[in-house]
Amino acid sequence: MPLTDVNVRNAKPRDKLFRLFDERGMYLEISTTGGKWWRLKYRFGGKEKRLSLGVYPDVGLKEARDRRDEARKLLANGIDPSIERKVQKAATIERAANSFEAVAREWFARQAPGWAASHSDKIMGRLEKDVFPWLGGRPIAEIKAPEVLAVLRRVEARGALDTAHRVHQNCGQVFRYAVATGRAERDISSDLRGALPPARHTHFASVTEPAEVASLLRALDGFQGTFVVQCALRLAPLLFVRPGELRTAEWAQFDLDKAQWRYTVSKTKTEHLVPLATQAVAMLRDLYALTGHRQYVFPGRDVKKPMSGAAINAALRRMGFDTKTEITGHGFRAMARTILHEQLRFPSEVIEHQLAHKVPDALGTAYNRTRFIDDRIVMMQRWADYLDELKSRDSVVSDQAGKN
């Protein structure tokens, strides 16, 4: 007699495992603890075999019979359902391992050691927020260009066009890695070139006119905040390093007797050498009396940590500067680059090396921390003297104007 739902539901455990048989080789196996498993008994290749069809009540009688019938169709076509199940399970595991998210995280793990932490955080943040929720679980080889475009459109719709372009770029990097590792045929994101409106790139606000620079320098000298922030503000134009590198500077990196600062560039992971003008050395020696026993040159409120990343721009705003249109902490680099070349006539390659930019030379060298070092020592001192001259000259002009 075929089983009924009532038979299955009311079956009670016994002292030994027992079975209730249905039709066409299917039966319900009841353990001594009350567990109930659907099984199919069949023969393949002359051997008797069994196939699990699920656990009751998760799999009811009707669904168990449907699974039985699917297995018997495979048998009719000469396929062992047990082997087929293993093949499908392996394929599922492979699909999961080759999902967009799995490939993206593998690509990220290989690339991230060469990136600055802030850069890594931004890339993974974009993927986790804007891509994985929609494409993360999809096998990367099956993703089509319109699916990626839909992801980009969502980012664009919230007004983040520049981020949409960066998401597009990151997706392309993941797809190309999938191609290189044999998990995709091609980078389908390349089909989306031109699909997004061009992003409007803005440069960091900066001051490059000498008279305006003089006013800015005098404002920095008159800053009424803490001595640590005051020193950071006054050193920023002298050193023109990236703001993050300035605020995280450590005393162990400095040799004030040799007038040198050596550190690893956050963006390129290369060692960089900053020659220190006499004015910079004097400021640092003054600051050393206050923070020299600490790790960081510019400690924050928690002295075990560096100054906040927002401290420089916040100080500039307190002095009345618009950090979006006038000057920002990063703008001191543009100031130095422009004036050193246009006003002081230093060669571009010397300036670019001091900015720690990658400048390929005839020998193919991307960056050499000691290249043009003699020229850079002269340049850094001339730059510091020029800034002092600007302040002094502008002050004299202002005094004369006041008398007239």
List the chain pLDDT tens, one digit each, 404 residues.
Answer: 899 999 999 999 999 999 999 999 999 999 999 999 999 999 998 899 999 999 999 999 999 999 999 999 999 999 999 888 888 876 666 666 789 999 999 999 998 887 777 778 889 999 999 999 999 989 999 999 999 999 999 999 988 888 999 999 999 999 999 999 998 899 999 999 899 998 765 556 678 888 889 988 998 998 888 999 999 999 999 999 999 999 999 999 999 999 999 999 877 778 999 999 999 999 999 999 999 999 999 999 999 999 998 899 999 888 888 887 778 888 999 999 999 999 999 999 899 999 988 765 554 455 566 688 999 999 999 999 999 999 887 544 444 434 44
In this structure, are residues 372 and 350 in contact, taking their beta carbons and an 8 Å threshold?
A: yes
Quote the CA–CA distance of 245 and 271 in Å, as a whole number.
12
- Cis before 347 (ω within 30): no
Complete edge-to-edge strand list for the sheet that includes strand 36-44: 18-21, 26-30, 36-44, 47-56
Quote the CA–CA distance of 273 and 372 in Å, as a whole number.
11
pTM reported for the whole predicted model:
0.54
Provide CB contacts within 8 A for 3, sequence distance 6+: 20, 21, 22, 28, 61
Domains of the chain: 5-97 (3.30.160.390), 100-192 (1.10.150.130), 210-403 (1.10.443.10)
Hey, which residues are catalytic here? 242, 267, 330, 333, 357, 367
Quote the CA–CA distance of 161 and 198 in Å, as a whole number.
8
Nearest 10 degrees: Cα torsion 373, 375, 380, 384: 160
